[in-house]
Structure 1
């Protein structure tokens, strides 16, 4: 991925479009699934708290920190910038741009090959057992019907593709971190694949793959993914937060909840916070856990 030509601040729509187009361009299709029975139909699954319990980027960051992929000083710096923006609500363009740029700064200087190799290990030790069986069954249902299944997540595209490959899915759309000659620069291409950016990524992929979005399905736990869910003809709320559950009921959407009792209530309350953490503040979670 070559550096962006311009470093001028971009507005939300521009960043989202750039991130979405980059994610779609980086997406790979498994050869065995390149000619599906229903080539114009696909299903899109969010990852965090939808396909997997918890935030994938948190599990990734924790695993990388254990392997001394980055220092505590680096992670605390990124956490401070993100927390300051989210808590104080500063609207200074330069500070906001710096905060977004630091979201994946902890991989700066490392190679794509390193992240991919460690990502395989981290999936096995921290992610595989957190896959929701019910959501995995929904994905398999679409595959059995000859449809393609894509993950759509704020996690780095390299990790998203590992998760998709391990689950036997078609492919993944994720955040694209800029790299030059296989080495990460610490900057993002556009923005995190979050909120509006997910919608842009799906639209770009649909145009490339010839998908009929009215015939497609989408699954998510978060109201923040409303852009993605309303793009398709068959949206479904999975383990939804309170706002998404209410919206889904109001519009007659399918609702699937694979949590039980107290866990469902607790996770529903914090789902919005988890989604926010996926945009960069997850670094703080790693540091806090290490102090306990």
Structure 2
């Protein structure tokens, strides 16, 4: 039984849930629209360029969670799932997950996007194991801070290593699917790294190293 690890945004999903949650907040009038949209785009561009300051971004993106109670947030998230996430879950990604499930592999999503946004998405794929950036919870509410190591770049490796030690899994025969050069530290650790609809930097690395390059997008 091998470990099959999946990045989420732009890998299993044909879009970025973190960025889209920001767009959802703007469209619903829940944040200062012009400012939030501008900053949301700035951070997304920095992520794609590999220059994102993860702590600056988290201070921005977790602030709205701290301003509302859990019941309200969960209600908004159900609407977000229906309107913005469901269309991004396409058959090729579902088929890949199912192939590994049928092989008896242990399924794990690992993502920089925070646990509030991603837990219902992992559930939609039927994947119980999720490593995501954890927003801090104090007295039943989000504080706006981060609990532990953000699940980003080398932080993904650190979080995965801790999970492996806790669960007694290992990386023998493991797979990792990702679209982003930000995930090179983890791609380099697994037995079978796979580039999925990769950005240019990852595509170049995958070609140079002989890694498979696949697409999970439906043909247009």
So what's the TM-score if we normalise by structure 2? 0.83
| Structure 2: segments with no counterpart, 5+ residues | 48-52
CA contact (8 A) 1:52 1:132 kept: yes
From 228, 239, 261, the counterpart of 2:186:
228
Give CA deviations for 1:182-213 in whole Å, capped at 9, x if unaligned. Answer: 21221223564221111112111111111121
| Contact 1:81–1:99 (Cα < 8 Å) also in 2 | no
Work out whether residues 216 and 232 of structure 1, in 8 Å CA contact, stay in contact via their aligned partners in 2: yes
Determine which of 128, 137, 140 is the counterpart of 1:170.
Answer: 128
1:214/1:233 contact within 8 Å kept: yes
Of residues 68-77 and 118-127 in structure 1, the stretch that sits farther from structure 2 once superposed is 68-77
CA separation of 1:80/1:156 partners in 2, compared to 1, >3 Å: closer, same or farther? closer
Larger Rg: 1 or 2? 1
In structure 1, runs of 5+ residues without a counterpart are 1-37, 87-94, 264-292
Q: Cα–Cα, structure 1 residues 168 and 214, in superposed 2: closer, same or farther, change >3 Å?
A: same
Higher relative contact order (CA 8 A, sep 6+): 1
Alpha-carbon distance, 1:119 to partner: 1.7
Maintained 8 Å contact 1:100/1:191: no
The corresponding residue for 2:50 is none
Per the alignment, in what secondary structure is the counterpart of residue 11 of structure 2?
Answer: coil
Question: CA shift at 1:164, angstroms?
Answer: 0.9
Deviations 1:146-175 (A, max 9, x none): 122121112221221101111111232111
Residue 203 in structure 1 maps to residue 161 in structure 2:
yes
**Does the aligned pair in 2 maintain the 1:178–1:188 contact within 8 Å?**
yes
Structure 2 counterpart SS, 1:49: helix
Sort the Cα spacing of 1:187 and 1:231 in 2 relative to 1 into closer, same or farther, 3 A.
same
1:57 aligns with 2:21: no
Give me the whole-angstrom Cα distance separating, in 1, the residues matched to 2:217 and 2:56: 37
TM-score, normalised by the number of residues in structure 1: 0.64
Q: Which has the higher strand share?
A: 2
Structure 1 residues 201, 113: closer, same or farther in 2, change over 3 A?
Answer: farther
Corresponding residue for 1:67? 28
- Residues paired across the two proteins, number: 214
